[in-house]
Amino acid sequence: MAKSKVSPVKQISLPRLELCAALLLARMVKYVSAVLDVRPTLIHLWTDSTVTLHWIQNHPSRWKTFVANRVSTIQQLVPEAKWSHLPGQSNPADCASRGLSPGDLVNHALWWQGPSFLKECRQQGTLPPAIVLTEVPEERMQILLANSLKAVEDNSILSRYSDLHKLLRITAWCKRWRRAIHSDRRSSSSEAVRQSPVPLMAEELDQAERL
């Protein structure tokens, strides 16, 4: 069974097209499994794109929207699949994408039988080695923010009193005393405040609260 699609008119990068091909493969596998009513415990899938392979083998949240959506769908369709890299010259899908004449297709061993290592994998239980990339396109920029806080001991008057009314009265008295010692009649005013203080006015308490 084989399937191919024509790339859209809108220009898309080659890695994205390879990812769409991998998604097409995952949908085919899901369809065949449902039609044949089989539930394989392990599925081997191949792609000749190292970028696509790296995308699929990582969490979708690492990639930008286009790639993340398709990687997420692939992982949901074939969660049990083991993806591996396939050299381009051994990829039978290229026979369809690059085109073959009917005469060439009839006797094309790669198209009908697949790459030779498939039989070797079955007999020896080996797979092509994994490929790891250090730089991958379509990766989301990760921003790390760090903030340091320095504890400062609070020596303000607010930490010295638990009663708000008492704190307001003390603040009001301090403000009155400050006004008194800065007045023109400094000595007499301070003496008057100390000897016969006038009760605090409501306005003075309001000013202390706004301070």
Quick check: 158 and 185 in contact, CB under 8 A? no
Which pTM was predicted? 0.59
Give dist(CA 102, CA 61) in Å, integer.
Answer: 44
State the pLDDT at residue 191.
54
State the pLDDT at residue 69.
95
State the pLDDT at residue 23.
95
Strand pairing category for 43-47 and 81-85: parallel
State the pLDDT at residue 133.
61
State the pLDDT at residue 202.
83
State the pLDDT at residue 31.
93
State the pLDDT at residue 206.
83
State the pLDDT at residue 126.
46
Contacts for 139 with CB less than 8 Å, ≥ 6 apart: 62, 63, 64
State the pLDDT at residue 123.
45
Give dist(CA 52, CA 22) in Å, integer.
Answer: 8
Residue 103 CA: distances (Å) to CA of 99, 106, 149, 197: 12, 6, 75, 116
| Tens of each residue's pLDDT in the chain, 211 residues | 677 777 777 888 889 999 999 999 999 999 999 999 888 878 889 888 889 999 999 999 989 999 999 999 999 999 989 998 888 888 887 777 777 787 888 888 888 888 887 777 554 444 545 556 666 788 877 777 787 777 665 556 666 777 788 888 888 888 887 887 777 555 554 554 555 567 888 888 888 777 7
State the pLDDT at residue 157.
66
